[in-house]
Structure formats: structure tokens, C-alpha cells
Amino acid sequence: MRHAYPAEAIRAAEAPALAAGEPLMERAAYAVAAAVVAEARRRGLALVGARALVLAGGGNNGGDGLFAAAHLARRGLVVTAALLRERVHPEGLAAARRAGVRLLPVSGDGAQGHTGMPAPGLAPVLAVADDADIWIDAIAGIGLTGGLRGVSGALVAALNERRERSILDPLVVAIDVPSGLESDVGAVPGEAVRADVTVTMIGLKPALLLPPAAARAGRVELVDLGLAEALAARPAPVRRLLGVDVADLWPVPGPADHKYTRGVVGLLAGSDAYPGAAVLASSGALRTGCGMVRYLGPEGAARMVLARHPEVVTAAGRVQAMVLGPGIAVGAPVPESAGRALVDSEVALVVDAGGLDWLPTDPTALAGRRVVLTPHAGELARLLTTRGGDPVERSTIEADPARWAQRATELTGATVLLKGAVTVVAQPGGTVFSQSDGTGWLATAGSGDVLAGILGALLAGSDAPAGELAAAAALVHGRAGVWAARNRRGSEGGPSPVGDPVSATGRGPLDDRDPGAPITASDIAAAVPEVVRGILAH
């Protein structure tokens, strides 16, 4: 499991080592330089003579950058350090000077020009940036609040604009967190560096796991500086499950199990307008491995479910979990079976789409129950507007998903799985999980219905906390999307020409070299057993 710690915990963990005189900054700088060298080699960039620009702020983050600049200069790189403050770390500055680093004081008058162009004082550093193969971001570290201001903000805005509007493709390495991000939150308050690699020290920070900030970090490399044990004793408010964690959670049947002990999922999904949601939610639940699926929706959708899955039972009976709402329109009346499930404290619930309207208005009504809401940002905005009294826009949710998911837990008393490129799971008074296991190909109609079925099966078959199971469902769903995109089969049933099938673990993100192929929600459901097998085998 990955754990992310607030800035306060990072400082507390390093304080004894600093008091004892341990050279943490030198270790950090060496790790940054090593990461730059390794990534440059992966890209086929010759090191000797390569041009590097270090953007050095005035704090310890700038000191890390200046010491790293010295290391790289001694490796044969041509290094320029842009000094963004009048006073920078003195020992780091001295080390850079001794190593032959070119020192470039930067003056931007703290503002953009009247035409929106960068202030004239930024021209020298922008010229260096245009010629550089590598940019190292050491502007601001974990102490930043309120975003970048003055010359730093103007410079980062100009650099971002250059990367977007030109053929510039430097390797961008950030130290600790990309400058412009606030370490403890997922929101991006203004201009921020867009890194290819972030080398973070001591422990992960929430901004490196939470959306949308995490998208600015690129690949994250953790260097614990020998303080892992000191940090592990402190609370981690943001976490990310790995495959090994899901293997520990997954309900695997034993010789004494039968269909009822393996979990029975009730599905109230699908409608005359959206009958396919019933089929997809059923597929997700069945492929996950529950003992039985009871479909309790309308007759037309029931016929479609049985045509695809004759093992589904359409008779009422006992269930351990109910999935309510996929494919059901906003404002639909509450069916009798849904009403019973909502008041039965023994039944775990997954509530999606139109089912969100059926939730009790009193948040204490769900207290202590295993209830997971699975909205996308638009659905969550509507729910918050209805429950909170003040209008909330989808764009507001997308600007800070973790904050608003946590707000929804306060208003409903339920665990909230907020779907997105990075899926956030918030629990009442508990840890936030952040899962980034999928691919953009998952953004397809019916994908969320499959996820609801997966989660319903897990809740039915396991007594683990709802938040952990929700994060596990998101991981499996994401990996199933990756597996399907890489192993998409053609119409004749054989492997598509996309490439060789990957391991059933689904590990490894798709990239420009292997972008995968378009998939449907049915493909995602079909891939779930292979992903589960891979997870349980490792």
C-alpha cells in the first residue's frame, strides 16, 4: 500500500535527523541527480554536454536543486542555475559555484507585461530553457500555500506556455512536489510545473496521489532518506491500494463454501430506457465471483439479463448486498425492494445514478452501515446541490475531487467512490483512497455499471470495511480496462493485431508506444476474471 503524509508529518519525521546533523539535503540532491541521469539514459540522451536548467527557489527545495546541479555538472552536463530569489541556500550556492555551474539571477518584476507576455527580466532564463535538454524544478517545496506568486508564477506560466505551443520537449524533473502544488491537497491553485518525473523525499505527499494535482507529477520516485520507520508511525490520510493489498482483501472460496456463504448480490438496475445497465451490472458481479446474483428490476431488462446470463436468479430472496440505481433515471420512484434494502441495516449497499435520489435525507440513517455511493462528478454535483443547499458545478468537483467527496460523506453518512481518471474513495471520518489503475479507454458508456456490479459482489462476499473494498473494486476495474485494451479480440474471436497479450495482472500503464485499443463495457467485465487471477497469483 502507498501512504501519503501531510507536510507536518514529514517535518516531524525529519526533525530528529536534522538535529543530529545528518546530511539529508546532500542525500536528497544525490538522489535527484541519479534520477535525472537514469531518466536521461532511458530517453537516449547523451549526458556529457547535455544542457540542464535548474530553477532554484529560496528555500530548502532550492538548496536541493543547487546541490543536484553541482552533482550533474561534475558528470559532464552543462548546467545553468536560475536563481529566483536574491537569497538562496548558501551552502548549495557555494557547491554549485565550485562545480562550475553557471549562475543566472532572474528578475521578472513579479508580474506579466501589459500584453500578457512574460516580463522582460525573464528573457534570459527563457532563452536558456529553450536550449536546455533537462529542466529541474526546485522552486518551491512542501511549504507552499496559495500557489506561486511573483517572478516564480510568471516564469512557470511562461515555461508551460512554451511547452504547449512549441516543439520543446525537455525532460522535466521536479523535486519533492511540482512547484505550484500545495503538498497536502489535490487542488491546483494556479500555475504549476508539469513534471515528467517527481523525486519526492521521505514520504509521498497527498498532492502526488490526489487529482488533479497528481497529473502534474508524472512518474513519482520515492527516496525515504533513511526515515521510513520514523514516518510510518504517523497517520497517513491518503492511501493507494496495490495488487498485494487487494489479494489480501479478496474473498476466495474454500471447500466448505456454498453459494450463500460466497455472497448473494441483489441488483435493482436498468430501466425501459437503459436496459443494458442491468446486463452490465450483472456481468460485473458475476465475473467478480459472488455466489449468486438476484435481479429484481423490470421484466424487459430481466429478459435481457437472462438471455446473457441464465445463471442469474430473478426471484426475490435474501441478499448480503444490493446494487441500486445503474441505468435508472433521475427522479424515478423508489421501488419497494429498494425501500426495504435502504432500511435493512444488515444489507450492504452500492448506490449509483438514479438511486442517489433514494437516499435518506438524514445522514445518521446510514451511520455504521456499509454503504458506498458511486457517482461521477456530474452526479456528485447534483447530490451536493440538493443536500447542501448551495449550487455546486461539475467543474468545481473536478477541481478538487477529494474535498467534495469528503463533503458528500458528511451530508450522506456513506462512503463515496467518486469516479474519474483517478478514482477517489472518501469515508466518514476516515482515510481517503486514491486509485489510478486504469486507462482513458474506460471512459465509455456502461463502464460505471460494471464497476457497481464488481463492488456489489465484494460487499456481499467480504466483511472488510466498505472503503477498502471500494478502492479494491476501483483497482480491479481499472486493471480490467487496461487488460482489455491490450488484449482486445477481433470479431472472429482471435487476438487483435494490437500486440501480444500482457500478463493477467494488468500491470503497467498504457503509453504512446502501446496505447491499446478501444473497448466496451462488456470487454471490461470479461477481463475481470483474468485480472483477479493475476492478482491472486502474485
Residue whose C-alpha is closest to residue 235's, from 282, 273, 184: 184
> Does 62 belong to an annotated binding site?
yes
Whether residue 177 is found in the same domain as residue 272? no
Q: What is the largest CA-CA distance in the chain?
A: 80
**Whole-angstrom Cα distance, residue 13 to residue 10?**
5
> Does 61 belong to an annotated binding site?
yes
Last residue in a domain, options 203, 238, 273: 238
CA angle 222, 226, 232 (to 5 degrees): 75
Whether residue 161 is found in the same domain as residue 199? yes
Whether residue 228 is found in the same domain as residue 370? no
> Does 419 belong to an annotated binding site?
yes
pLDDT at 495: 39
Render 460-520 in DSSP notation, one character per residue.
HH--S-HHHHHHHHHHHHHHHHHHHHHS-B-TTSSBPTT-SPPPTT--S--BTTB------
> Does 142 belong to an annotated binding site?
yes
Give domain status of residue 538, yes or no: no
> Does 376 belong to an annotated binding site?
yes
> Does 176 belong to an annotated binding site?
yes
CA angle 450, 215, 193 (to 5 degrees): 170
**Whole-angstrom Cα distance, residue 79 to residue 136?**
10
Whether residue 207 is found in the same domain as residue 266? no
Give domain status of residue 384, yes or no: yes
Buried-exposed string 310-322: b where 16+ CB fall within 10 A, e elsewhere: eebeeeeeebbbb
Q: In what order do the strands lie in the sheet with 415-418?
A: 2-4, 238-240, 432-435, 423-426, 415-418, 371-373, 348-351, 321-324, 264-268, 292-295
Whether residue 292 is found in the same domain as residue 417? yes
Give domain status of residue 506, yes or no: no
> Does 144 belong to an annotated binding site?
yes
Whether residue 179 is found in the same domain as residue 298? no
Give domain status of residue 31, yes or no: yes
**Whole-angstrom Cα distance, residue 202 to residue 35?**
15
> Does 512 belong to an annotated binding site?
no
> Does 477 belong to an annotated binding site?
no
Angstrom CA distances, 385 to 236, 248, 397, 400, 417, stand at 30, 38, 11, 16, 18
Give domain status of residue 155, yes or no: yes
Whether residue 84 is found in the same domain as residue 169? yes
Whether residue 425 is found in the same domain as residue 341? yes
The x, y and z cell numbers of residue 371, run together, are: 454503504
Pinpoint the alpha helices (H) of 250-332.
Answer: 276-288, 299-308
Whether residue 335 is found in the same domain as residue 396? yes
> Does 179 belong to an annotated binding site?
yes
Whether residue 275 is found in the same domain as residue 194? no
Please count the other Cβ atoms lying within 10 Å of the Cβ belonging to residue 395.
Answer: 9
Give domain status of residue 501, yes or no: no
Q: What is the 3-state secondary structure (H, E, C) of 85-125?
A: CCCCCHHHHHHHHHCCCEEEECCCCCCECCCCCECHHHHHH
> Does 374 belong to an annotated binding site?
no
The CATH code of the domain that includes 39 is 3.40.50.10260
Number of domains in the chain: 2
> Does 205 belong to an annotated binding site?
no
> Does 341 belong to an annotated binding site?
no
Give domain status of residue 383, yes or no: yes
> Does 327 belong to an annotated binding site?
yes
- Residue 403: what residue type? R
The one-digit pLDDT tens for each residue of the chain (538 residues) are 999 999 999 999 999 999 999 999 999 999 999 999 999 999 999 999 999 999 999 999 999 999 999 999 999 999 999 999 999 999 999 999 999 999 999 976 544 544 455 667 899 999 999 999 999 999 999 999 999 999 999 999 999 999 988 777 999 999 999 999 999 999 999 999 999 999 999 999 999 999 999 999 999 999 999 999 999 999 999 999 999 999 999 999 999 999 999 999 999 999 999 999 999 999 999 999 999 999 999 999 999 999 999 999 999 999 999 999 999 999 899 999 999 999 999 999 999 999 999 999 998 999 889 999 999 999 999 999 998 888 999 999 999 999 999 999 999 999 999 999 999 999 998 899 999 999 999 999 999 999 999 999 999 999 999 999 999 999 999 999 999 999 875 433 443 333 333 333 334 567 666 788 999 999 999 999 999 999 999 8
Q: What is the pTM of this model?
A: 0.93
Residue 333 C-alpha from the chain's centroid: 35
pLDDT at 115: 45
Whether residue 359 is found in the same domain as residue 444? yes
pLDDT at 508: 55
> Does 59 belong to an annotated binding site?
no
Last residue in a domain, options 411, 435, 469: 469
The CATH code of the domain that includes 293 is 3.40.1190.20
Give domain status of residue 505, yes or no: no
- Residue 195: what residue type? A
Could you tell me whether strands 423-426 and 415-418 are parallel, antiparallel, or unpaired per DSSP bridges? antiparallel
> Does 254 belong to an annotated binding site?
no
What beta strand segments (E) does 260-356 contain?
264-268, 292-295, 321-324, 348-351
pLDDT at 96: 97
> Does 368 belong to an annotated binding site?
no
Whether residue 168 is found in the same domain as residue 112? yes
> Does 487 belong to an annotated binding site?
no
Residue 80's domain spans which residues? 2-238
> Does 494 belong to an annotated binding site?
no
Last residue in a domain, options 444, 469, 494: 469
